[in-house]
Amino acid sequence: MVLELRIETTVNGGRRVVEDVWEGESLLHVLRERFGLYGSKNACEQGECGSCSVYLDGALVCACLVLGGQANGRSVVTVEGLDGDRVQQSFVEAGAVQCGFCTPGLVVATHDLLHRVPHPTEEQIREALAGNVCRCTGYAKIIDAVNLAARR
Amino acid sequence: MKVGESVRRPDGQAKVHGSFVYSSDLHVDGMLWGATVRSPHPHARILSIEAAAARAMPGVHAVLTHADVPGEKLYGLEIADQPVLAIDEVNYWGEAVALVAADHPEQARRAAAAVKVEYEVLPPVTRAEDGRVLRHVKIRHGDQSAHAEVVVRGDYEIGMQDQAPLGPESGLAIPDGAGGVDLHIATQWLHVDQQQLASILALPREKVRLTMAGIGGAFGSREDLSMQAHACLLAIRTGSPVKIAYSRPESFVGHVHRHPGTLVYEHGADRDGKLVYVKARILLDGGAYASSSTAVIANATCFSCGPYLMPNATIDGIVVYTNNPPCGAMRGFGSVQNCYAHEAQMDKLAAALGMDPVELRIKNALKTGDRLITGQIIDGPVPVAELLRRVRAFPEPAGDGLMPGGYSNTTHGEGVKRGVGYAAGFKNIGYSEGFDDYSTARVRLFVHEGRPRVEVHSAAAEVGQGVVMVQAQIAGSVLGVNDVVVLNADTGVGSAGSSSASRQTYITGGAVQAAAEAVRARVIELGESELGGELPVGNEAALATLLGDAVIEETREFRPRATHHLDPETGQSDAHMQFAFAAHRAIVDVDTELGLVKVVELTTAQDVGKAINPLAVEGQLEGGAAQGLGLAVMEEIQLKDGVIRNASFTDYLLPTMLDMPPVKMDILELGDPNSPYGLKGVGEPPTISSGPAIVAAIRAATGREIDRVPVRPHDLTL
Amino acid sequence: MQFFQPATWVEALETKAAHPEAVPIAGGTDVMVELNLDHNRPPAFIDLTRIGELTEWGMEDGLLRVGAGVTYTRLVDELGDRLPALAIASRTVGSPQIRNRGTVGGNLGTASPAGDALPPLLACDAQVELASTSGARRVPVREFFTGPKRNAMKKDELIAAYWVASAPGPQQFAKVGTRNAMVIAVCSFALALDPTRRIAGTGIGSAGPTPLRATEADEFIAGELDWANHTRPSEATLARFGELVAAAAKPIDDVRGTADYRRHALAVMARRCLSWCWN
Ligand SMILES: Cc1cc2nc3c(=O)[nH]c(=O)nc-3n(C[C@H](O)[C@H](O)[C@H](O)COP(=O)(O)OP(=O)(O)OC[C@H]3O[C@@H](n4cnc5c(N)ncnc54)[C@H](O)[C@@H]3O)c2cc1C
Ligand code: FES
Ligand code: FES
């Protein structure tokens, strides 16, 4: 196999360049293994769990479903780029974190939800976060965390 | 930092910021990627393995087969019957046959694909009825020819559930250059991994050092070895660090599952609803290798009658080998399968008697001092009737909310019927049947930046349940110190046993308590010699002054009371250490024409003895119930001729936020006289009776019998 | 493996002509799953996300022309009133993350019988606009699906857009899945009524080798409905409609459901959709 793709992208506000990427690498792989941003998780790599949720040019997407090259010239924001956000604090306080593998994706997805709908109803929360699977919590504390963040 | 407070997770900040290092995030410069060649057949003889082409590929550093395993070629938790790499036969679909290490994961995959294995396909045994018996547990309790006025029978079938922790199996093995290896791994039990690895690698234990990496959930899936030995073999062979990280489909064949089973029950009762006898045959499919099947079948058999007083019982619990994927530990451990059956039977019996199903349960509920079907007298609080009364007492929710089908627009109310169902369940906490259950903790007290600090070190696996908080709270409580740091788990301290059987708060908590108390005793001694008997515990400034430069360190092992083997002919014995109980009420809406289910609400009551961390306890009750819901209505590994047809999250469905309802709960703290702080194990009971309550509610809504889970739309319509 | 990132439609068509084996990638929500799970290793990809035209929609010649690259999220937000069945279906696709990326062009490209956009397009008699360096052609969606995951697109063609009438009457879509969100259809059904032309269109998903149209049911119900006075169809009419829809399906047993259940569920959904459309 030849590794000859070059990707240039903005990640969390900074310009990042990587050379010699295999064309088949997903944005998730590039973020994790090329840029060392392991916050976005790899629970399924088939779009089903949302643990890899990031912003791509402002839209919430699964990084595992974006081909690395597709991020060329785009702007990516990962959980590492939301540092200090109220959503993160609320997740810790509400007890919404157990193993935490779903958490980074949920933090980004919740950030997106609250940006679009500052005071979501429970039904809106459930529909908006249905693509983020959590195996540990049963979701109750996650909903509490979203409500807590919305109040802040 | 005290027992009974909802202390925040020490790893919480790192987890919400994405900086917590899970086993799949591990990396070092120059590391190689391992990949596994797996069997495409559920049963076949291996005729040859041709690895030269793979070895010759650029970037490929090693291709290994069973011939490269230096030590024991078989391993297993109870019985060493599973090959590290298949030897001359494969016994399940996806069994590991060969290993590859390469410098890019894609190259490793390609090299794995280039390893040519020639098989002679053999017919697989895929029906449990045809399987070879691995263990047969018999219970013969009371009158074996008891008769009753009212008799109900039922055949029940339970599908194969997957733990599906979100973090896939992964780890990094680093050779130490002196023949040994350091493995960074997410596991439920470091020391049992270490012991198995040492024998596989033919190394003394101290040359196989394990350090816990972040664990993305476990639920039983990380009790057996997955990629541990493989990564170590590749690392030692190549002299380079090797990382293996399973993909989701590989994870489905990389760990054991919850046993599927068929359960045949006959219950007899008198006209007043007093239970007279049970006859049951429980058949679990253990799959290709033993894993923890022998312990799972013991549980399934011991708790087969549920938390009810049963004077006479004839139970045969059988687990068999087949060529299906191996099954082993999953949250609830044998008590989940039987709960579906005994609770369905209780409802049938109530219907036959014309009794209210909750009243029937209350009438027969176990009480302190009752004798279990294993002959053991049950001590401590046994609030089964109380739990049932409590879940029944919650007000029922209104009818609005999302319809079955969610946003898929399948009904605007047509065909929708509501049902309410109840279930109760119980199981053992900790290891049973004479297994030496213990944990080790080291507690250190010293002054850090002018204040006393406590360091706790144990090998307990933090799988998400919060044992890091429990350890800190207990040490903090005993020593009256707020600054408590729990060190990362590793094999540098004694075994903690596994994070399973809902035992870690009890056993490692007990070890931390014992070690902290030993430190406290030494502080008191120090106080006596330095301060003439004054005790500075609780006064941090005084404690810091007293300690000065001193470092007080104590290590303790903790053992709960002993358990005993089951009599092989009668199953009578004090085989269990502690019992935990829970009850659930489920309210469901069912679209009776389409067979779609929306669980509207779950209500639970559970006696936790003492809630060491109430917020974490709630999290266990909610999360455990979600896994129960999964098995009840959607989660099943589907097999055809031994092949998994849905090894992905596209078709193995986990409950989403739109599937899981709110959980209302009553947490009882009745205090067990035998345990530290009176606590009871908490993690598993929520997964036991939640699903059966949902199925009971579906029966109530549809009027259908339903004798299999997960309940599928066609079961409710055709 | 090669990666092409054409900036214009013309460049994209030229790339496809020069590399007929190259796989176009839009939202990637189908392509990437195949790639990540090692099911497919195409020689090259052509990224279509840089081509502005593909993400536009507008009225042309009395029809809506919707670019192949318009995402489900935008369909729900921008076209809910003009294409109600497609919008209802779009809301059921995956999760917000999937809907933000996934496109109807990709759904057509994959041509899975379970593609949720496809029954509405069938019910609405949409046309697919295919283009190559030698020009564009429109294929009725009814003729577009040629087999399981196969379509009428030639090796050098790309999907430019689909053409469909702005809803002349009520439309519905319903989808059965074994989870309340994020689920591939066990089966699905779409219905579109055109009260001015007095015709009905149906679409069946996940119950045959391709998405299907229940032609007999269309004709039956067009004849039965009381277009002039809008009286409620009888239970017998609703039931017959359901039967005809079920009869048009060619389902199989698979991991998601049984053939018998699919027929049963289609009849139920068809009855319900019709009564919702008519009320
Ligand atoms: C988690 C998850 C959930 C999903 N849920 C659903 C669901 O509920 N319902 C559903 O229908 N689908 C679902 N899908 C599948 C997928 O999202 C849809 O099929 C989607 O429409 C694909 O669009 P895309 O733009 O992502 O396609 P891509 O993956 O980019 O492409 C799909 C196919 O179309 C081809 N293609 C794309 N655009 C063009 C073009 N302009 N010209 C020619 N060929 C083209 C590609 O070469 C490829 O063969 C789901 C997928 C995931 C990962
Ligand atoms: S890893 Fe991307 S959605 Fe699961
Ligand atoms: S906290 Fe473990 S998956 Fe959500």
Contacts of C173 in chain B (CB under 8 A): 409
Distance from CA of A73 to the nearest CA of B (A): 24
Euclidean distance between CA atoms B61 and B59, whole angstroms: 6
Nearest CA in chain B to C186: B713
Distance from CA of C176 to the nearest CA of B (A): 7
Query: Collapsing DSSP states into helix, strand and coil, what is residue C137?
Result: strand
Q: Is the Cβ pair C178, B712 closer than 8 Å?
A: yes
pLDDT at residue number B354: 98
Euclidean distance between CA atoms B315 and B570, whole angstroms: 9
pLDDT at residue number A83: 82
pLDDT at residue number C128: 98
Instruction: Please choose from C34, C107, C133 the residue to mutate so as to test ligand 1's pocket, defined by most ligand atoms within 8 A of CB.
Output: C107
| B329-371 confidence digits (pLDDT tens) | 999 999 999 999 999 999 999 999 999 999 999 999 999 999 9
Mean pLDDT of B708-717: 98
Whether C221 maps to a domain, the answer reads: yes
Q: Which of C28, C97, C180 sits opposite A70 (nearest CB)?
A: C28
B703 φ/ψ sector (left φ>0, alpha ψ -120 to 50, else beta): left
pLDDT at residue number B531: 76
Tokens representing A79?
């959980």
Query: Domain B438-558 adopts which CATH fold?
Result: Aldehyde Oxidoreductase; domain 4 (3.30.365)
Specify the number of domains making up chain C.
1
Q: Which residues line ligand 1 (CB under 6 A)?
A: A 46-48; C 23-31, 33, 48, 68, 92-94, 98, 101-103, 105-107, 109-110, 115-116, 158-159, 184
**pLDDT of B410 higher than 80:** yes
B212-239 burial, b at 16+ Cβ within 10 Å, e below that, comes to bbbbbbbbbbbbbbbbbbbbbbbbbbbe
Q: Whose CA is nearest to atom 2 of ligand 3?
A: A99
Nearest CA in chain C to A110: C96
Put simply, whether B649 touches A (Cβ < 8 Å) is yes
Closest ligand by atom to B217 CA? 3
Q: How many CB atoms lie within 10 A of CB A142?
A: 27
Q: Strands B89-90 and C127-132: what pairing?
A: unpaired
> What is the predicted ipTM?
0.98
Q: Is the Cβ pair B718, C264 closer than 8 Å?
A: yes
**pLDDT of B698 higher than 90:** yes
Tokens representing B103?
């410098």
What is the residue-wise DSSP string for chain A? ----EEEEEEETTEEEEEEEE-TT-BHHHIIIIIT--TTS--S-SSSSS-TTEEEETTEEEEGGGSBGGGGTT-EEE-GGGGTT-HHHHHHHHHT--SS-SSHHHHHHHHHHHHHH-SS--HHHHHHHTTTS--SSS-SHHHHHHHHHHHH-
Which of B200-214, B535-549, C26-40 has the weakest average pLDDT?
B535-549
Which of B508, B332, B507 has its CA nearest to residue B430?
Answer: B507
**pLDDT of C83 higher than 90:** yes
- Is residue B113 lining ligand 3, measured as CB closer than 6 Å? no
Q: How many CB atoms lie within 10 A of CB B449?
A: 7
CB B561 within 8 A of CB B380: no
**Dihedral (CA of C270, C271, C273, C277) sign:** positive
Tokens representing B51?
């690895």
For residue B490, what pLDDT band results from cuts at 50, 70 and 90?
very high
Euclidean distance between CA atoms B34 and B24, whole angstroms: 13
Ranges of H-type helices in B368-450: 384-393
The 3-class SS string of B242-284 reads EEEECCHHHHHHHCCECCCEEEEEEEEECCCCCEEEEEEEEEE
Query: What's the DSSP call for residue B371?
Result: B
CB B258 within 8 A of CB B163: yes
A96, A100, A147, B472, B474 from B10: Cα distances, Å: 13, 12, 22, 9, 14
- Is residue A95 lining ligand 3, measured as CB closer than 6 Å? no
pLDDT at residue number A3: 74
CB B70 within 8 A of CB B145: no
CB pairs under 8 A between A and C: 92
Neighbours of chain B (3+ CB pairs under 8 A): A, C
Q: Which residues line ligand 2 (CB under 6 A)?
A: A 42-45, 47-52, 62, 64
Cis peptide before B710 (omega within 30 of 0): yes
For residue B399, what pLDDT band results from cuts at 50, 70 and 90?
confident
Q: Is the Cβ pair A39, B6 closer than 8 Å?
A: no
Residues of C at the B interface, defined by Cβ within 8 angstroms: 33, 36-38, 88, 91-92, 172-184, 186, 255-258, 260-261, 264-265, 268-269, 272, 276
Amino acid at B177: G
Q: How far is the CA of C173 from the centre of ligand 1 (A)?
A: 19
| B421-442 confidence digits (pLDDT tens) | 999 999 999 999 999 999 999 9
Euclidean distance between CA atoms C273 and C170, whole angstroms: 10
**Dihedral (CA of B231, B232, B235, B238) sign:** negative
The size of chain A, in residues, is 152
CB pairs under 8 A between A and B: 181
Euclidean distance between CA atoms A24 and B418, whole angstroms: 49
Q: What is the CATH number of the domain that holds C202?
A: 3.30.390.50
Q: Is the Cβ pair B717, C264 closer than 8 Å?
A: yes
Euclidean distance between CA atoms B410 and C173, whole angstroms: 8
Euclidean distance between CA atoms B686 and B597, whole angstroms: 20
Specify the ligand 2 atom closest to the Cα of A48: 3
Contacts of C101 in chain A (CB under 8 A): 59, 61-62, 65-66
Q: How many CB atoms lie within 10 A of CB A20?
A: 10
Query: Domain B30-124+168-215+222-254 adopts which CATH fold?
Result: Aldehyde Oxidoreductase; domain 3 (3.90.1170)
User: Which CATH architecture does the domain made up of A4-78 adopt?
Assistant: Roll (3.10)
Specify the ligand 3 atom closest to the Cα of A96: 1
Specify the ligand 3 atom closest to the Cα of A136: 2
The continuous run of DSSP H or E covering B238 comes out as helix B228-238
**pLDDT of B536 higher than 80:** no
A53 CB-contact burial (10 Å; exposed 0-12 / middle 13-18 / buried 19+):
buried
**pLDDT of A50 higher than 80:** yes
Instruction: Please choose from A26, A32, A49, A133 the residue to mutate so as to test ligand 2's pocket, defined by most ligand atoms within 8 A of CB.
Output: A49
Euclidean distance between CA atoms B611 and A79, whole angstroms: 33
**pLDDT of A74 higher than 90:** yes
Q: Is the Cβ pair C261, B593 closer than 8 Å?
A: no
Question: What are the sequence ranges of the domains in chain B?
Answer: 30-124+168-215+222-254, 261-432+566-717, 438-558
Q: How far is the CA of C98 from the centre of ligand 1 (A)?
A: 9
Euclidean distance between CA atoms B154 and B263, whole angstroms: 8
Query: What's the DSSP call for residue B658?
Result: T
- Calculate the dihedral angle through the C-alpha atoms of B70, B75, B77, B81, rounding to the nearest 10 degrees: -160
CB B286 within 8 A of CB B92: no
Beta bridge partners of B63: B100
Contacts of C92 in chain B (CB under 8 A): 407-409
What is the residue-wise DSSP string for B187-204? -S-HHHHHHHHHHHHT--
Q: Is the Cβ pair C91, B407 closer than 8 Å?
A: yes
Put simply, whether B300 touches A (Cβ < 8 Å) is no
Q: What angle do CA B362, B367, B372 make, to 5 degrees?
A: 105
Euclidean distance between CA atoms B636 and B368, whole angstroms: 37
- Is residue B166 lining ligand 3, measured as CB closer than 6 Å? yes
| A31-47 confidence digits (pLDDT tens) | 999 999 999 999 999 99
Share of chain B above pLDDT 90, in %: 97
pLDDT at residue number C57: 98
Which of B299, B426, B307 has its CA nearest to residue B366?
Answer: B307
For residue B537, what pLDDT band results from cuts at 50, 70 and 90?
low
CA C189 to chain centre: 11
- Reply yes or no on domain B261-432+566-717 having CATH 3.30.365.10: yes
Euclidean distance between CA atoms C206 and B542, whole angstroms: 73
CATH class of A84-151: mainly alpha
Contacts of A146 in chain C (CB under 8 A): none
Instruction: Please choose from A52, A53, A92, A103 the residue to mutate so as to test ligand 3's pocket, defined by most ligand atoms within 8 A of CB.
Output: A103
Instruction: Please choose from B16, B166, B620 the residue to mutate so as to test ligand 3's pocket, defined by most ligand atoms within 8 A of CB.
Output: B166
Q: Is the Cβ pair C179, B650 closer than 8 Å?
A: no
pLDDT at residue number C223: 97
Euclidean distance between CA atoms B506 and B508, whole angstroms: 6
Which of A140, C262, C176 has its CA nearest to residue B597?
Answer: C176
| A7-24 confidence digits (pLDDT tens) | 999 999 999 999 999 999
What is the residue-wise DSSP string for C163-184? EEPPPSS-EEEEEE-SSSSS--
Distance from CA of C39 to the nearest CA of A (A): 12
Nearest CA in chain A to B650: A48
Euclidean distance between CA atoms B644 and B667, whole angstroms: 39
| C180-214 confidence digits (pLDDT tens) | 999 999 999 999 999 999 999 999 999 999 999 99
Tokens representing A77?
């924001």
Q: Which of A67, A112, A127 sits opposite C45 (nearest CB)?
A: A67
- Residue C245's domain comprises 171-278
Query: Collapsing DSSP states into helix, strand and coil, what is residue B484?
Result: strand
Neighbours of chain C (3+ CB pairs under 8 A): A, B
Question: What are the sequence ranges of the domains in chain A?
Answer: 4-78, 84-151
Ranges of H-type helices in B563-684: 614-633
Q: How far is the CA of B627 from the centre of ligand 2 (A)?
A: 20
Which of C273, C15, C9 has its CA nearest to residue C159?
Answer: C9
**pLDDT of B535 higher than 90:** no
Q: Do domains B30-124+168-215+222-254 and B261-432+566-717 have the same CATH topology?
A: no
Q: Strands B170-175 and B181-185: what pairing?
A: antiparallel
The size of chain B, in residues, is 718
Average pLDDT taken over every residue of chain C: 97
Query: Collapsing DSSP states into helix, strand and coil, what is residue B695?
Result: helix
Beta bridge partners of B280: B265, B315
Specify the ligand 1 atom closest to the Cα of C29: 26
CB C269 within 8 A of CB C206: no
pLDDT at residue number B499: 97
Neighbours of chain A (3+ CB pairs under 8 A): B, C
Q: How far is the CA of B248 from the centre of ligand 2 (A)?
A: 10
Whether C207 maps to a domain, the answer reads: yes
B 71-130 near C (Cβ less than 8 A) = 109
A72, B609, C48, C82 from C56: Cα distances, Å: 22, 62, 13, 15
**pLDDT of B326 higher than 90:** yes
Q: Is the pTM of this model over 0.80?
A: yes
